[in-house]
């Protein structure tokens, strides 16, 4: 069976297809989940979350494209594990996770789609290894030490690259916010920024 046929079968609610995907991606999903919650939860908790990821895939197979399965599973695994940390009131050990956009007032909102587009633009503009470091830390929630070890660079370099990535993201968000401020000004005639 290949992924395309397995996905087709999964969309028809074929349990054998689900089992096939689990065999193929269990280790990948487990690793993502474990990297986020392994230090605060048990092995059976990791298994529970990992199994939930595949059940979400089962329910949403219709929405997944054949060439995006790994990315989809990774995204769900990451979000589910992150949700677990929130349920327990735990913070992720991330560097400067909050950025301030001074050109945009607090009452302004970016739609989720806008945020995702600007974030992807920022990430695409980063060169290697900055892009990989940024994704490892803020998407996969790898601590700085783990990134340094796996990428064979020192921790201070990781932090420097993360800072650069945050700066790039701020620039792009600020540009997007400024454009929307102009729209708001025309809409209600009152500048609130």
Partner 1 sequence: MMKLKISDMMDNIQDDTVLFQIKEIASSDKIKEVAMNKLHANSNTHARTRKVSAMLIAAVLATILLAGTTLAVYYFSMKDLEGPAVQVGGEEAHTLSLNGLKGSPEYEAAQEWERYVEAWYAKGENLAVPDLAPDAYTQYNAFSQDAKDTLDDILSKYNLRMHDAATQVNSLDELYSGLGVSGFMPIVGDNGTFPVSGTFYDDGTFTLNGAAALPDGADVRYQFYCFTKGTFTRVGYLLADVNDFEEWVYTTSHGDDILLAIGANKSILAVNLDKSFVFVNILSGAENSDDNRSSYGAKPVGKRDLEALADSFDFAAIRGLAR
Q: Which of residues 8-47 bind partner 1 (CB under 8 A)?
A: 9, 12-19, 22-23, 26-31, 34-35, 38, 43, 46-47
Nearer to partner 1, 95 or 154 (CB): 95
Nearer to partner 1, 156 or 178 (CB): 178
Binders of partner 1 among residues 45 to 74 (CB under 8 A) are 46-48, 50-56, 58-60, 68, 70-72, 74
Nearer to partner 1, 79 or 156 (CB): 79
Please state, in angstroms and rounded to a whole number, the distance separating the CA atoms of residues 115 and 82. Answer: 19
Please state, in angstroms and rounded to a whole number, the distance separating the CA atoms of residues 88 and 40. Answer: 9
Please state, in angstroms and rounded to a whole number, the distance separating the CA atoms of residues 138 and 130. Answer: 12
Binders of partner 1 among residues 90 to 109 (CB under 8 A) are 92, 94, 97-102, 104-109
| Burial (Cβ within 10 Å: 0-12, 13-18, ≥19) of residue 92 | middle
Binders of partner 1 among residues 149 to 168 (CB under 8 A) are 150, 166
Contact with partner 1 (CB under 8 A) among 5, 40, 42, 116: 116
Q: Does 175 bind partner 1 (CB under 8 A)?
A: no
Please state, in angstroms and rounded to a whole number, the distance separating the CA atoms of residues 69 and 22. Answer: 12
Q: How near is the Cβ of 189 to partner 1 at its closest, in Å?
A: 13
Q: How near is the Cβ of 182 to partner 1 at its closest, in Å?
A: 16
H or E segment to which residue 145 belongs: helix 144-151
Please state, in angstroms and rounded to a whole number, the distance separating the CA atoms of residues 133 and 155. Answer: 11
Please state, in angstroms and rounded to a whole number, the distance separating the CA atoms of residues 99 and 116. Answer: 15
Cβ-contact 135, 88 below 8 angstroms:
no
Q: How near is the Cβ of 141 to partner 1 at its closest, in Å?
A: 7
Nearer to partner 1, 13 or 156 (CB): 13
């Amino acid at each position: 069976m290949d992924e395309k046929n397995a996905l087709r079968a999964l969309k028809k609610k074929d349990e054998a297809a689900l089992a096939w995907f689990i065999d193929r991606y269990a280790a990948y999903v487990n690793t993502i989940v474990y990297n986020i919650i392994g230090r605060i939860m048990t092995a059976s908790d990791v298994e529970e979350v990992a199994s939930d990821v595949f059940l979400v895939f089962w329910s949403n197979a219709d929405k997944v494209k054949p060439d995006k399965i790994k990315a989809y599973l990774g995204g769900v695994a990451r979000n589910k594990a992150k949700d677990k940390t929130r349920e327990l009131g735990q913070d992720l050990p991330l560097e400067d996770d909050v950025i301030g956009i001074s050109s945009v007032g607090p009452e302004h909102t970016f739609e989720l789609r806008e945020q995702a587009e600007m974030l992807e633009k920022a990430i695409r503009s980063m060169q290697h290894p900055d892009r990989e470091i940024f994704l490892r830390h803020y998407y996969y929630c790898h601590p700085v030490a783990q990134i340094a070890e796996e990428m064979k660079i020192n921790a201070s370099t990781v932090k420097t690259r993360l800072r650069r990535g945050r700066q790039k993201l701020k620039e792009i968000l600020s540009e997007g916010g400024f454009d929307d401020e102009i729209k708001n000004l025309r809409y209600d005639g009152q500048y609130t920024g």
